[in-house]
Amino acid sequence: MKIYFITGAAGFIGSNLAKRILKDEVDCKVICLDNMNDYYDVKIKEYRLKELNKFKNFIFIKGNLADKITVENIFKEYKPEIVINLAAQAGVRYSITNPDVYIESNLIGFYNILECCRYYKVEHLVYASSSSVYGGNTKVPFSTDDKVDNPVSLYAATKKSNELLAHSYSKLYNIPSTGLRFFTVYGPAGRPDMAYFGFTNKLLKGEKIKIFNYGNCKRDFTYIDDIVEGIVRVIKKPPKKENGKDGLPIPPYAIYNIGNNHPENLLDFVNILQEELIRAKVLPEDYDFEAHKELVPMQAGDVPVTYADTIPLERDFGFKPHTSLREGLRKFAQWYKEFYMN
């Protein structure tokens, strides 16, 4: 029986990944940790957990990743072979006003995971990085070969730190680790702090939506099912343990982008979203969108474009995200209608 340990399992990516593994592998056990914080609506986290609790081989532990004893006890009791660290304090803008939680969750929490992977030998550590590590890079598409030494937010800096820490632990203790730089993940039961979700809430209340950089931002929107498919493939193929010419281990370490490789203009994104919200009957057909749009300057910590080079992902795993923005937003709008309006 394969034992998986997923942190941040009540989160958007974590819950979808846990469900996929539980559906795919009858003979497995999925141990999940989440602190259920109220950074956004806890009802959505509870909804995701309710879906996971339908599986008999799902075990949920409420706890804080920064609490070393909690994490050690999970490794001691369950001895996971595959560790997927998706727990993190998310959000670029929130990191400007609440830096403490980013240091606790993203740095101390990740350090606790690495220490346990060191002492309880694991087959593969997979962890969430972010497209935000590319910071102010202007060369596109963003490649994992690019230098990423200029983060423009604390959140981005913590994610780059995760990659550096994982590399050092891979080198020192021969731990196979793979970091995944996710690009603007969206979909049903997603994070309410993300633009598509926040826009929908505001439009429904008749409030104005702010479109940053006067609508000239581009985002590589990546549908949740594509993200999960990428993770599942990566899990099964850890970096190889090999020795170099000096007889010492070459770090079994890898980094990949998971993005749509097709950045969308923010104004086009808003137009598709409004059409799908009308189609799903979340908004009335005669809704006046122009009266509810406000073009504003760029916000601190934001970047004008995210655009993933996914060639290494295609080469090594035979996979490229493919869900169109319209298809993804249609599924979100249908879920929103069912969750909030039925």
- Catalytically active residues are 155
Write out the chain in H/E/C secondary structure: CEEEEEECCCCHHHHHHHHHHHHHCCCEEEEEEECCCCCCCHHHHHHHHHHHCCCCCEEEEECCCCCHHHHHHHHHHHCCCEEEECCCCCCCCHHHHCHHHHHHHHHHHHHHHHHHHHHCCCCEEEEEEEHHHHCCCCCCCECCCCCCCCCCCHHHHHHHHHHHHHHHHHHHHCCCEEEEEECCEECCCCCCCCHHHHHHHHHHHCCCEEEHHHHCCEECCEEHHHHHHHHHHHHCCCCCCEECCCCCEECCEEEEEECCCCCEEHHHHHHHHHHHHHHCCCCCCCCCCHHHEEECCCCCCCCCECCECCHHHHHHHCCCCCCCHHHHHHHHHHHHHHHHHC
Locus of tokens 């593994």: 21
Q: Phi and psi of 185, rounded to 5°?
A: -80, 135
